[in-house]
């Protein structure tokens, strides 16, 4: 560590600058596993961007004159400079003039990085490939060393964006559009005026005068904000999974309901603390930079800290919000946004979610009392009762519809029936699967081909040919080039349409307004409204309004006004999560950790988008522990009387009889599992609609007691290479126990006998070639000191633990899919418990990119 910072220290006089010497290692506080990443915009003699990757106790550093580019065609010069201390990565402010690197520094991006291969080897060879999980930069990147010239002493590299879903060829440079700090939201000028000078002991001294510079010239709210701060600094409230509404066919009756306008925009949660502002989408994506014009008004709110819930939209002169106009504002950078706030979840250190909605809205109204009426922050008011009249009036005004909410209920993350949405017209998300060429000059396509998921299966849903501006046409055409494919991703497309169509991978999501459905299940008179970047394709399903009587129960309109519910710790009888009635929500399911049934259900709601693609539509076997882990548990794979309807059933023929098996389709099914005391979900290797053709192979590397986890990792790497030699790509998963699963996605078409034969041949070959390391026999006597290569999970009816499932074991651990690079860094097979898993999963990004796109056939005859 000292040797690596020798060059850094030689350039600085630490008696004159307060920059850190690196004598004491400090963490950035952002990434616990030592793989933090950041970019600092640095206005020194020439403005440039400092790109830094944490490795082996220091920050590898490159100076990039033009900054990073999202266009793979742009190869940006990156000059390798001296390593910097870890604590350098949290700095934003000014280095004194006359000192090395004197000038203003902005924290332009931060997050984590994930190397594809050994870092030291990559630096030596001159090619370092990695994934970035930042607030602005994502996806695959590479640093490539240039061949040096004899007269050039610099160590020159190129920073290149890889061609993936995060690439944006031809777009305006992100460094031109993203001009504020990810830490404070300030511009370079604001940071310079703030006069934050390097302090290596900032945490202790708090020696900053930023407030003086950033409050100059502000209006009425600034004084209140300053006064609120005197009570003490507050931490920025963390992201909370938002509460979602259930679509119903009519508004509910009764005085216990209040009704709000339904806005046509993006759901956004804003977290505010001092000058720090973060704006999240419903999935937890950081879109602060996209909505940067809202940052300053949010900073001005008279509070120390707050977590707000609302909708960002663009309204016309009559107050009608328009998703298409919002899309235009985002693409053109006009920033003509309004933030329509309807809830507050945290305020000045207090969690308000256990309070009634009516109480929360009163608190929010007071908080927003001083904001300008012209916006951009608006209080979303409501009307009490008379839902039918409110809805009719909203439709007369040509609004989107209304949201009806129980006035006395607490805030629940996930989809619930205490919030209901009623639409005046028909619109929903669809997946774009192709396009038809246009005969008109200058028009890249005539119509889009749509698909929607129904019954767990993607199906063709028709075409839409209207609603496009010239700008949208060009933007869509550019996006289509990145997702082209030769064949249609769904069946059932009429031959005449398919003949002239161009097809796309099913990843782009479009918002479509339409008049209804045809008898064939196609959209009627559809119009394109815009792309939905906040919703993944895997979450798009056909929306079917629930009868309002079913959603609210027979007592709607007859209930007496209820008193506000007490906080969760006193709510012992029931709760509703994702529309599922949870009994005994405070029952502890994992005693040492104190994790309750409610928290288990909340976990599954939080990670549903990541888990469901692996689980939905597959027959399941369940480990049930009704009284919690450590008490009586049992294995269940067949349906039983009284089983929740949210579990689907399928008849599967066994050797002696046909039995009813279970499977789920959505997040409500996961929550229903938690309600039934399910602590583990195990998967079949095939889907319910094609049980006799497996599409998932699993090798369970199960070590004998006493073996080091390094031996298991080496075995997984060996398995990966053997599978690659057979032409198969594989993915690792930490099981939450002591072993590793190596998972191989396959194209269905072969039989279970062929499936097992291949897996068994692979396992036995490993045992024969390296008998001192591996065994393919489950006998405990033969496994001593070895790793059992368990291939038996690849038979019809056998199951394997599902990705992201909890484990019914001490520790409340979770089965975690990881990348191969992350596996190499893992210390054990149980890296995270359910208490922390949701945050880690959201922060880390998809560990198995490309998994669901692989269409690899089992190489029969190989093994």
Whether 163 sits among the annotated catalytic residues: the reply is: no
Contact (CB, 8 A) for 744 and 728: yes
470: Cβ–Cβ under 8 A, 6 or more apart, which residues?
none
Distances, alpha carbon 18 to alpha carbons 93, 178, 199, 392, in Å: 12, 29, 5, 65
Closest C-alpha to 420, from 573, 541, 513, 550: 550
> Annotated catalytic residue: which of 41, 161, 225, 262?
262
Q: Which residues pair with 423 in a beta bridge?
A: 401
| Residue owning tokens 């009559």 | 318
Contact (CB, 8 A) for 664 and 673: yes
Closest C-alpha to 390, from 260, 566, 234, 226: 260
Q: How many CB atoms lie within 10 A of CB 469?
A: 13
What is the Cα gyration radius of the chain?
A: 28
Q: How many CB atoms lie within 10 A of CB 660?
A: 13
CA distance 266 to 251: 23
Q: Which residues pair with 403 in a beta bridge?
A: 260, 421
Distances, alpha carbon 49 to alpha carbons 61, 65, 157, in Å: 10, 6, 14
CA distance 404 to 21: 58
Which of the 8 DSSP states describes residue 688? G
Distances, alpha carbon 482 to alpha carbons 139, 161, 475, 478, 535, in Å: 14, 14, 12, 7, 19
Q: Which residues pair with 669 in a beta bridge?
A: none
Q: Which two tokens stand for residue 827?
A: 């210390």
Q: Which two tokens stand for residue 428?
A: 């929903």
Burial 155-193 (b: 16+ CB within 10 A, else e): eebbbbbeeebbbbbeeebbbeebbbbbbbbbebebbbb
Phi, psi dihedrals of residue 307, rounded to the nearest 5°: -120, 115
Distances, alpha carbon 138 to alpha carbons 165, 278, 288, in Å: 9, 17, 15
Q: How far is CA 3 from the centre of its chain?
A: 39
Closest C-alpha to 162, from 132, 141, 136, 144: 141
Contact (CB, 8 A) for 742 and 732: yes
Contact (CB, 8 A) for 645 and 670: no
Q: Which two tokens stand for residue 409?
A: 């209920």
Closest C-alpha to 680, from 602, 592, 589, 746: 589
Q: What sign does the dihedral 760-764-767-770 (CA atoms) show?
A: negative
Contact (CB, 8 A) for 725 and 766: no
Q: How many CB atoms lie within 10 A of CB 862?
A: 12
3-state secondary structure of 458: strand
Q: Which two tokens stand for residue 320?
A: 């009608």
CA distance 788 to 780: 9
Residues involved in catalysis: 262
């Amino acid at each position: 560590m000292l040797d690596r910072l020798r060059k850094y220290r030689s350039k600085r006089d630490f008696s004159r600058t307060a920059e850190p010497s690196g004598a004491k290692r400090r963490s950035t506080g952002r990434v616990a596993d030592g793989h933090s990443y950041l970019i600092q915009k640095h206005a020194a003699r020439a403005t440039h961007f400092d790109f830094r990757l944490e490795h082996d106790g220091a920050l590898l550093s490159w100076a990039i004159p033009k900054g990073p580019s999202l266009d793979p065609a742009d190869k940006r010069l990156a000059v390798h400079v001296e390593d910097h201390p870890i604590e350098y990565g949290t700095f934003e402010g000014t280095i004194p003039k006359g000192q090395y690197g004197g000038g203003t520094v902005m924290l332009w991006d931060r997050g984590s990085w994930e190397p594809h291969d050994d870092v030291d080897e990559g630096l030596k060879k001159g090619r370092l490939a990695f994934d970035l999980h930042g607030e602005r930069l994502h996806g695959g990147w590479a640093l490539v060393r240039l061949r040096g010239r004899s007269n050039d002493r610099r160590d020159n590299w190129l920073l290149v964006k890889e061609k993936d879903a995060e690439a944006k060829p031809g777009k305006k440079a992100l460094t031109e559009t993203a001009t504020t700090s990810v830490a404070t939201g300030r511009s370079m000028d604001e940071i310079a005026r703030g006069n934050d000078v390097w302090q290596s002991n900032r945490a202790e001294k708090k020696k900053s005068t930023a407030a003086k510079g950033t409050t100059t010239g502000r209006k009425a709210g600034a004084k209140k904000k300053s006064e609120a701060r005197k009570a003490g600094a507050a931490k920025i409230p963390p992201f909370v999974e938002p509460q979602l509404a259930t679509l119903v066919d009519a508004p509910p009756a009764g005085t216990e309901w209040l009704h709000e306008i339904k806005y046509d925009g993006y759901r956004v949660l804003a977290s505010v603390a001092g000058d720090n502002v973060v704006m999240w989408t419903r999935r937890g994506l950081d879109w602060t930079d996209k909505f940067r014009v809202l940052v300053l008004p949010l900073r001005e709110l008279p509070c120390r800290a707050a977590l707000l819930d609302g909708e960002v939209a663009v309204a016309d002169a009559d107050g009608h919000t328009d998703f298409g106009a919002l899309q235009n504002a985002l693409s053109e950078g006009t920033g003509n946004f309004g933030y329509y706030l309807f809830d507050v979840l945290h305020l000045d250190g207090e969690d308000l979610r256990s309070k009634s909605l009516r109480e929360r809205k009163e608190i929010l109204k007071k908080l927003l009392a001083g904001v300008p009426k012209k916006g951009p922050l608006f209080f979303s008011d409501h009307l009490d009762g008379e839902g039918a009249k409110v809805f009719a009036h909203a439709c007369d005004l040509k609004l989107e519809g209304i949201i009806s909410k129980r006035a006395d209920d607490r805030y629940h993350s996930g989809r619930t029936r205490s919030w209901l949405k009623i639409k005046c017209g028909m619109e929903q998300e669809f997946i774009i699967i192709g396009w038809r060429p246009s005969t008109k000059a200058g028009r890249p396509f005539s119509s889009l081909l749509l698909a929607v998921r129904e019954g767990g299966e993607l199906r063709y849903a028709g075409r839409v040919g209207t609603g496009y501006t010239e700008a949208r046409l060009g933007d869509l055409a550019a996006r289509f080039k990145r997702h082209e494919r030769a064949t249609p991703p769904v069946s059932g497309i009429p031959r005449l349409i398919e003949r002239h169509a161009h097809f796309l991978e099913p990843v782009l999501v479009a918002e479509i307004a339409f008049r209804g459905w045809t008898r064939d299940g196609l959209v009627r008179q559809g119009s394109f409204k815009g792309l939905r970047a906040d919703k993944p394709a895997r979450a798009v399903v056909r929306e079917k309004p629930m009868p309002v009587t079913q959603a609210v129960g027979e007592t709607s309109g007859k209930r007496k006004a209820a008193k506000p519910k007490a906080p969760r710790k006193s709510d012992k009888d029931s709760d509703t999560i994702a529309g599922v009635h949870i009994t005994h929500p405070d029952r502890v399911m994992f005693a040492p950790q104190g994790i309750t049934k409610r928290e288990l259900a909340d976990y599954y709601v939080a990670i549903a988008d990541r888990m469901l693609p692996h689980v939905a539509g597959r027959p399941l076997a369940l480990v049930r522990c009704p009284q919690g882990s450590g008490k009586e548990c049992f294995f269940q794979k067949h349906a039983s009387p009284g089983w929740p309807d949210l579990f689907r059933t399928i008849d599967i023929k066994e050797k002696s009889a046909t039995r009813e098996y279970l499977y789920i389709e959505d997040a409500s099914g996961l929550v229903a599992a938690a309600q039934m005391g399910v602590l583990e979900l195990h998967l079949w290797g095939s889907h319910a609609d094609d049980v006799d053709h497996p599409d998932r192979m699993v090798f369970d590397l199960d070590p004998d007691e006493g073996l080091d986890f390094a031996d298991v990792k080496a075995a997984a790497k060996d398995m990966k290479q053997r599978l690659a030699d057979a032409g198969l790509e594989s993915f690792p998963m930490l099981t939450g126990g002591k072993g590793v699963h190596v998972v191989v996605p396959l194209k269905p078409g072969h039989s279970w006998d062929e499936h097992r034969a291949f897996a068994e041949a692979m396992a036995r070959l490993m045992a024969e070639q390296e008998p001192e390391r591996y065994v393919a026999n489950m006998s405990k006597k033969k496994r001593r000191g070895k790793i059992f290569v368990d291939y038996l999970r690849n038979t019809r009816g056998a199951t394997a633990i599902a990705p992201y499932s909890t484990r019914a074991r001490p520790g409340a651990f979770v089965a975690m899919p990881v990348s191969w690079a992350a596996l190499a860094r893992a210390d054990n097979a149980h890296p995270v418990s359910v208490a922390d898993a949701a945050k880690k999963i959201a922060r880390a990004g998809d560990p198995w990119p490309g998994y669901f796109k692989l269409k690899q056939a089992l190489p029969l005859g190989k093994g």
